[in-house]
Structure formats: structure tokens, C-alpha cells
Structure 1
Amino acid sequence: MRTRISHLALTGLASMLAFNSAWADEVQVAVAANFTAPIQALAKDFEKDTGHTLVAAFGATGQFYAQIKNGAPFEVFLAADDSTPAKLEAEKETVPGSRFTYATGTLALWSAKPGYVDNQGEVLRKNAYQHLSIANPKAAPYGLAATQVLDKLKLTEATKGKLVEGQNITQAYQFVSTGNAELGFVALSQIYKDGKVQSGSAWIVPAELHEPIRQDAVILNKGKDNPAAKALVDYLKGPKAAAVIRSYGYEI
């Protein structure tokens, strides 16, 4: 049996699609590399719940700062620190009142080898490894935190010739995961899900060994008239997003 669709029904369908598209927008987001997995998980529910589309780019916070200052089309910035968004705010590059802390990060010393890293980080003091991976401390807050840990443990000089520096925390992780470094400082979120380390071995670095890694989000000037930008910021403040963020080892 052939179903006929009337001209009126087609007109109504077209109107409905046009109505829906009028309410759906796209938001361009600069995301700190450590938050790659959480934002990918959050994006699906955000898009389903709001109808908006999230387009993310991942990289080092310092590099994103330079790109934003040079006119990159980002509308929301999820940084790996609180100082960079505050600096952009002071420079009038953001929507007033939009900055907030969406997560507090945790640093981990990780090896892809099971049993290689003990739960007290003594492997660092034993100094039997050849390469220690960190992110660029000038561009990546997790890299800066790693140098603060080494300084607190009085291991800066001992490890100086062994450091392998990634441009961002993703590259620092890749050096370890591919075996180019026996161990490295990574974001806990890269190796952790639902209460446990997913592979290899790790020491979760005590928070008192480095400055807090408060990660701030902000709406940039390019997103001030985009409903999807505000919707994303509101969504990140909600309980549904908080549960996902915590599952990757962050504090809220």
C-alpha cells in the first residue's frame, strides 16, 4: 500500500525543520588537552539535551591564548588553568561575568608498564629510568605542576637530563604510551575512569606537592551572541555534567 503525504503535511514538516534549526546553533570550543575525553563524553549528552552542536579543538592552554589573541574563531575556552582566562578577561576578550571553574585537575605519574610505578612515587627517587615525560611547562599547566613536584621532591637537578617534553599533555601522554619514555607526568583524566586507573601503573600525586590546577571556562567575545555558547556554559555547571567530570578523576 502506497502512503500519500499531502502538500499540507510536507509544508508542516518543512516548517517544523525550519523551526528546529532556528533554535539549534553550533559552538566553537577551545579545549585544554587534558579535558579531551570528558568533553567528548559530555558533547553527546549536550547535543542531545540542547539540540546545539559542539565543535572542539584540543591543545595547550598557552597556545590557545596566542591563537585567541590572533583572532581564532573560538567562542568558548575551557582552559587548563585559571590564570589564562583571567588574563583574557582583564584584556576585555571575554563576556563579563562568564568565567567560572569547571574542574580542578589532578596530576599523576604514570607508566604504561604494570607495576612500574609504585603508589608512593618512589620510582622517581630511585632514578633508574632513562626518560621522564612532561608537558611544556610554559604552555601547559600540567607541565608546570610537574616541575613544581620535582622541585618539592628536590629532584629537579637529578631529572634534568632525562626530561622528554611534549607540546601539551596529550603529547606527554603519548611519549609514555608508545614507550618512548618509561614514565611521565600526565593528567589523571587521561588514564582514569570510574574510580580506577585503566592501564599500566600510576601514582596519584598529592595535591600539596603543586599549586592547585583550577581549570576555568569562559565565553569569549566571539560567542557573546551565540545561544549555544551560553547553553554549553550552563550545561557544564549542571549536575549531569558534574557527574561525568568527576568520573574522570576531577574535583568540582
Structure 2
Amino acid sequence: MAAEAVLARPPFAGVERRLLRGASVQQAYQFQATGAAELALVARSLVSAADRRWTLIPAAWHAPIEQQAIVVTGGRESSAAAFLAHLAGSAGQARLKRDGYDPCP
């Protein structure tokens, strides 16, 4: 939905192009990196800040992207809980911010 909202705005709106839908953000990145697509909308965490081919899309151009995490029971709850605790801690929050994500509540 965020990608569609961005493509509906100038400078993208009204431009005729073939739309490829990747099965994942990683696949969209690969389409562009290999030349199969002229343009790709991908997560900021996938691209290097030094790579000048990429342009940051303003957050105001689309609705917020909400992501959730859950711990599924079945034997590895302690590992999953530790990972979620890491994300909520200062090191995890710093990493999320560096990669372009908002802080976890």
C-alpha cells in the first residue's frame, strides 16, 4: 500500500511504465540491481547510505508502515524473547534508527 501511495504522487504519477511486483522487498531490490527494473521501492535498511543511486522517500508520502512481532510457542520461546528484548534495548533501538525504522514501543 505504501508503494502504491508513493507511485500515485509526482514525479511518478502519470508516467507509463510496466509494474513488477516482487514477492518480497529483497526481490524488488534484486529486480533493480540486475537491471530488470528501472525503479524499485525498497526498505532503507537494504541500501547503503553511500550509494547515490537511492533517494529517500519522505514518510509523509504514505501511511505509516506498522510492523509487529510475536513469540510463537513450540520450543524456542526463550531465543525469540531474547531477540525481542534486544530490539527493545538501547543497542537494538540504535540499530533500528540507523536502518531507518522508528523506535519500538
Structure holding more helix per residue: 1
Q: Is the 8 A contact 2:71 2:77 kept in 1?
A: no
Written as runs of structure 1 = structure 2, the 5 A alignment for 1:8-157 is 144-153=1-10, 155=13
Q: Is the 8 A contact 2:44 2:99 kept in 1?
A: yes
Go from structure 1 to structure 2 and tell me whether the alpha carbon gap of 1:162 and 1:241 turns closer, same or farther (over 3 Å shift): same
Q: Is the 8 A contact 2:45 2:100 kept in 1?
A: yes
When the two structures are superposed, what TM-score results if normalisation uses the length of structure 2? 0.80
Q: 2:20 matched to which residue of 1?
A: 164
**Unpaired segments ≥5 residues, structure 2:** none
Q: 1:182 matched to which residue of 2?
A: 38
When the two structures are superposed, what TM-score results if normalisation uses the length of structure 1? 0.37
Q: 1:199 matched to which residue of 2?
A: 51
What is the distance in 2 between the residues matched to 1:182 and 1:158?
A: 13
Go from structure 1 to structure 2 and tell me whether the alpha carbon gap of 1:222 and 1:151 turns closer, same or farther (over 3 Å shift): farther
What is the distance in 2 between the residues matched to 1:149 and 1:206?
A: 9
What is the Cα deviation at residue 182 of structure 1? 2.0
Q: 1:245 matched to which residue of 2?
A: 96
Go from structure 1 to structure 2 and tell me whether the alpha carbon gap of 1:184 and 1:205 turns closer, same or farther (over 3 Å shift): same
Give the paired residue count.
102
Structure holding more strand per residue: 1
The superposition leaves residues 114-142 of structure 1 with CA deviations (integer Å, 9 ceiling, x where unpaired) of xxxxxxxxxxxxxxxxxxxxxxxxxxxxx
Q: 1:209 matched to which residue of 2?
A: 61
Structure 1 residue ranges, 4+ long, deviating more than 3 angstroms after superposition: none
**Unpaired segments ≥5 residues, structure 1:** 1-143
Higher Rg:
1
Structure with the greater relative contact order (CA < 8 A, sep ≥ 6): 1 or 2? Answer: 1
